[in-house]
Structure 1
Amino acid sequence: MKDNSVLKVEVVVAKPIDVVWKAWTTPTDVKLWNIPFPDWHCPKAEIDLRAEGFFSFRMEKIDGSEGFDHSGFYDKVIDNQLIEYTGLDKRKSIIEFIENQNTTTISEIFEPEEMTPIDLQSDFCQSVLKNFKKHVESKT
């Protein structure tokens, strides 16, 4: 991955890393937070969390007028620390989980797609991270 051809989004979650990791890697949780906008949902989430394991998430508008699958294979997984994967479209992503006492920073670096404007991709991903934060922080 070349630094000048990647996007980075980040969020700080006010929960310990084990809670954050579980919510990020559990399909039932993913379906609740992997939503970029209020009129979207994530009806499908499959996760085989291991190197060479397959993942697939379906994101779509609630009315069914627009949607896409985000799928690929995990390249590297270190529990509570790191997920690296390659999407079926060959784009790479790196997600780091950094523990800061009782908070966790999630940093996601990814190769953008060519057809969608960069700022739209960044806003889309940042919105998903904000939903993740809200989801995890609302859990007791």
Structure 2
Amino acid sequence: METADKTAITVEATVNAPIEKVWESWTAPAHITQWCHASDDWHAPYADNDAQTGGKFKTTMAAKDGSFSFDFEGVYSNVVQYSLMEYGLGDGRKVKIEFVGDGDTTKVTETFDPEDQNPIEMQRGGWQAILDNFKKYTETGL
């Protein structure tokens, strides 16, 4: 899939939690399975994450009614603890996540190459919904 000529999509959220808590929630599989879904009729029944440069991750995202599931997976090209994650997906797309802590708040910014199957706004909305679930979970669920 060719994405070089496409404009990357950015979503962001400010989480009311210190950077250490945000990082733990983002990287620990036990936490990932609690927040990694775009709507309440989906869930993440499985997650594995080796959050280091060269490490791999995989999260299974599934409809709760069993009608559909897929694995979201890739390989980290650059990980700087409490600051940055960059990874490539199997289809060649790139993702960059920046974490900027400021005391009891942390800004999380995700920038990703779009895919070809769905409209840009749908992709932005889906990634933003997952990020919003992450924010809610990290602020209240840990």
Tell me if both proteins adopt one fold, taking TM over 0.5 as the criterion: yes
**2:100 aligns to what?**
98
**Aligned runs of 1:1-140 on 2, under 5 Å?**
5-139=7-141
Q: Helix, strand or coil for the counterpart of 2:107?
A: strand
Instruction: State the Cα deviation string for residues 51-106 of structure 1 (Å, max 9, x = none).
Output: 11111011010011122111110000000000000011110000000012210000
Distance in 2 between residues matched to 1:64 and 1:139, nearest whole Å: 25
Structure 1: 4+ residue segments shifted above 6 A? none
Q: Helix, strand or coil for the counterpart of 2:92?
A: coil
Q: Relative to structure 1, is the Cα distance of residues 84 and 3 closer, same or farther in structure 2, using a 3 angstrom cutoff?
A: farther
Report the TM-score when normalising by structure 2: 0.94
Query: Displacement, 1:8?
Result: 0.2
CA contact (8 A) 2:85 2:96 kept: yes
Query: Displacement, 1:4?
Result: 5.6
Aligned residue-pair number: 140
Query: Displacement, 1:3?
Result: 9.0
Report the TM-score when normalising by structure 1: 0.95
Q: Helix, strand or coil for the counterpart of 1:32?
A: helix
- 2:24 maps to a residue whose letter is K
Distance in 2 between residues matched to 1:43 and 1:4, nearest whole Å: 32
Query: Displacement, 1:2?
Result: 6.2
- 1:45 maps to a residue whose letter is A
Q: Percent of counterpart pairs with the same letter?
A: 39
